Structure 1
Amino acid sequence: MTRSVSLLGSTGSIGTQALEVIARHRDSFEVVALAAGGSHPELVIEQARAFGPRLVALASDAAFAEVRDALPGVEVLAGPDAVVAAAGIGADVVLNGVTGSVGLRPTLAALAAGSTLALANKESLVAGGPLVNRSRVRDDQIVPVDSEHSALAQALRSGTKGEVRRLVVTASGGAFRGRTRRELESVTYADALKHPTWDMGPVVTVNSASLVNKALEVIEAHLLFDIPAERIDVVVHPQSVIHSMVEFVDGSTIAQASPPDMRLPIALGLSWPSRLDGVATPPDWTQAHTWTFEPLDEHVFPAIRVARQALAASELHPAVFNAANEECVAAFAVRDLSFLGITDTVRRVVEAYEGADASSVEAVEAAETWARARARELISNVG
């Protein structure tokens, strides 16, 4: 059966790889909507001509006329509500590959429409997790697309929830694995973008270097799988072949292994619970391999400790954590904040927030607005 797909963030890393998967399995999927920020109108036009959606949505209206005129017969929307409209179109699957907490409203729209949500936008779950979970119309409506959470979802099929002892999320260690805090004092934005195994967008790559990305994944794993944060561990695995593990009460551990290729979790997000043929090349088991695992140095990389603190504080503290980090990464990119200042500032913002319940999108957005303002204040004082 052909599944209809609405793809949010079509010009980003997740979106372009998703279209590669769909192009190789055209009989399995029909793209009905594409949504993008709008900064690459020529790519959106190319994608729309190749896949024939009936709706194209642009978050910015700057390129609206250019895209509209290039795509006669296609409905083109622009503005802050355009991506939400694409999410709520009623597709069988909505792949949310938007970057940042702006993905929250599209996430909620997809859930409200009854679509299966293939979720690559971890920030929307981190920022509005309780709100997102309350919006599900069925328990299996969210399929994670992060490689780690996709691995956990696969491994969790090996037992019941009551048989799970803990989740083990693996981390590559990012660009600065093995460095001391002193060695990190002078690293640059360009240094942080040199990820050893993954090819990702700049924000995610910096988050990987600071281990904030892994901190967000701990929050996300707690919300997705309803496992207490204290039973979610992080281990450094530089080869990025084991994407995560589930340890069961009898002492067995189920691990998911595959190359560091995002097309595999993307494909699973689109086709779950079925698998598509030939998405990635498996490890060559006729050759010798060495896979190593190292404990996380939380003194050098304290982001995960701060994330656990946020989870324990209130429903909205994770939103504060994420929004403050986005401001700090932006400041780091223009040299207004040091690399070590990212997590240190996020911690100070989290500790200053008084907390509240995630009762509405407006409540989440108010917490984020406060966090961004507080982070900017702290950054300016550092400067």
Structure 2
Amino acid sequence: MNDTVILFLSFSVLELHQNPAAQPPPKKMNTKFDHLVLGPAAGQGLPNRLQCQGTKALNKTHTPSSSNAGESVSFVTVFTVYNTSLADSRLSNLVTVGNASYTKMERSMAVLNVFVNFIQVTMPRSNVVILTDPASDLSLRRNSVTVYPIQGDYSRDKLMLQRIRSYITFLETRLEELAQNPGHISHYIFTDSDIAVVDDLGHLFNDHPNFHLALTFRNNKEQPLNSGFIAVRGTADAILRAKIFLQEVLKVYSSKFMSASRMLGDQLALAWAVKSHPGFDLRRFTKAQAFLENIGGASVLFLPCATYNWTPPEGAGQFHGMPLDVKVVHFKGSRKRLMLESWNFLSSSSDIFDMLCLVLLSGRTKYDF
């Protein structure tokens, strides 16, 4: 494989509808917006946080790179297309972002395309590999993008479980290819498809030369590890150790967390596999600093989510702004509208830091995705 892979603004007023007085008071609902809602930029005045004046960035600590450092990097994601009912294609279910309107399935494809867009802007020499159900009608013809069918159970209830299985199968094929062509090294970053890579990640494999795989962590007692970003060094030894590690996670998932198979099971299994390792110090998750640990024979690099898997808080809660060194923004849940809006904004402004201000100003709102 060769070196990889991939970016809006409107205002309106929320209308509140009340039931007639004769009706019992409605339950409080989480309002989702069909447009960007800009608020104050969190983190103003705090050190090492992005400072914004409107959507204009006032400080920058790095210049987004235009080429990978060192060997090639490939991004790997799992994506499938589900059959939609007639109702899903009705006009009432359309979502409009900018000048485009999407059905439910088209929304997913739009997010996938924007995922590729961000990578191709920040790391134009890298590749994207999409692992998918062979039965899925996934027609995506993009330069440096490969659709890779893998047999399995991609049903919604088992997708997170299947994702780990697909990762393991993919790593097994890489081992076979390396045996035939040992001189070709490509590193891999397994991610969700709702992330935006906003800085070159090629340095990761040079700055931390001793890890086999990397995970992202946060200060969360129950779910300290997020499965949306897993990096694997492209050597045969590292790929083998990463495969064995993921096989152990799959075993834990299947035996302990099947009740959470639709969501969170993979993250709970990841945390179990790490926390149950003798001598592991959970206090290391409380500080946003990278560290290396041997877990079951694999050298695991733990990277802070604040830099490599930053998610805009949604709704209430503490929000200390956006770290200046952020490299990956994760648009979980209904933040996917914000992901599409951000790409549209970047396409018109060509400034990633200004785009990050847009994300920062919009990040606490629930949107309609």
- TM-score by shorter chain over 0.5: no
TM-score (norm 1): 0.27
More helix by share: 1
TM-score (norm 2): 0.28
